[in-house]
Amino acid sequence: MKKVITYGTFDLLHWGHVHLLERAKSLGDYLIVAISTDEFNRIKHKEAYHSYEHRKYILEAIKYVDEVIPETNWEQKKTDVEKYGIDTFVMGDDWKGQFDFLKDQCEVIYLPRTEGISTSQIKNDLNITEDSKN
């Protein structure tokens, strides 16, 4: 069985996310999605609109996703590849080159982002700010 892993926040899930997950799944037989925990997002000075548990719940319902795991720190990618027997590591191409250090453990693929949609765009269009959530 060929295993694929990808990472992200996956907040305000949209068709671009689903398209990325579909393409990632097409590279193997089993797709693991590691999503940033709320605590890790705070370390990154990033706050998701939806909680980790709600984002996990949504991702688990997507037919391309076989397993959802928490991402708690930057360093865990190397250990996750080993722990889960990963064959292919997938990220969006805006991260190109950032994870090449994993190439000695698995194949690393950077997929193009879906044109015309992004979480940042949605937040901007809806005028969602950190203050507006309180």
pLDDT tens, residue by residue, 71-96? 999 999 999 999 999 999 999 998 99
Phi, psi (5° rounding) for residue 107?
A: -75, 140
Q: Which stretches does DSSP call E strand in the chain?
A: 3-8, 30-36, 67-71, 88-92, 107-111
What is the average pLDDT score of the chain?
89
**Reported confidence tier of residue 119, pLDDT bands at 50, 70, 90:** low
pLDDT for 47:
84
Cβ neighbours of residue 130 closer than 8 Å, sequence gap 6 or more: 47
Sheet holding 67-71, edge to edge: 67-71, 30-36, 3-8, 88-92, 107-111
Q: Which two tokens stand for residue 124?
A: 């901007």
- In the predicted structure, residue 21 carries a pLDDT above the cut 90: yes
Q: Which amino acid, one-letter code, is at 86?
A: I
* % of the chain surpassing 70 pLDDT: 87
Residues taking part in catalysis: 44, 46
